[in-house]
Amino acid sequence: MRFAARLCGYLLLHARGDDPRAWHDEIQQYKQSAREEFGREIQVWTNASVVQSDSHKAAVAYRERYTRELLDVEAIDGIIETMIKENGWDRNDSKVAFMRSRMSGGSGYPLLGRPQEIAEQLQSMAAAGIDGVLMTWIDYIDGISRFARDVIPLLVSAGLRKPFTDRD
């Protein structure tokens, strides 16, 4: 934590748990450490995988199909095995199970559902202190198009995002 607080302008946090409200204290520790110990401000970012659909049920079903039927199990097992060896973790450690679940879903916090649900989830992350989110989609072209069309206007309305201008 001190390394990031002292030297980084941006910290990429892989927050554990499925409720962004539970991340608040950890995020504030990083920001407080940077401010109080080193007289500087840092931003805390996280990553998320986005599956947007017309219904929450459809988004979950799409993600489940991807994570069960189309998953590159060998690649994920290889990465996890390397991390277990390098860090001396027990295979039954909760960190390993958490990593496997996140990697299986496209990495990062799962943003699932209708545009309004995704916007609300991003609002929860911002309320917890997250300054930015690096996002990925299973289908980048469709996902980014839907997100730009349907979610960004909601984020603008909520004050989490500035509107696009001709210079963007």
Span 87-140, pLDDT tens digits: 888 888 777 776 666 565 556 788 999 999 999 999 999 999 999 999 988 888
Residue 162 resides in a domain: no
Residue 162 burial (C-beta neighbours within 10 Å; 0-12, 13-18, 19+)? exposed
pTM score, whole prediction? 0.77
pLDDT tens, 41-64? 999 999 998 999 999 999 989 888
Residues 32/4, Cβ–Cβ less than 8 Å: no
CATH code of the domain containing 44: 3.20.20.30
Q: List CB contacts of 110: < 8 A, sequence separation 6 or more.
A: 18, 48, 49, 51, 63
What domain range is 84 assigned to? 2-157
pLDDT band at 83 (very low <50, low <70, confident <90, very high): confident
Decide if 60 is inside a domain.
yes
* Other residues' Cβ atoms within 10 Å of the Cβ of residue 7: 12
Domain contains 163:
no
Specify the number of domains making up the chain: 1
- How many alpha carbons lie under 13 Å from residue 36 in its C-beta half-sphere? 7
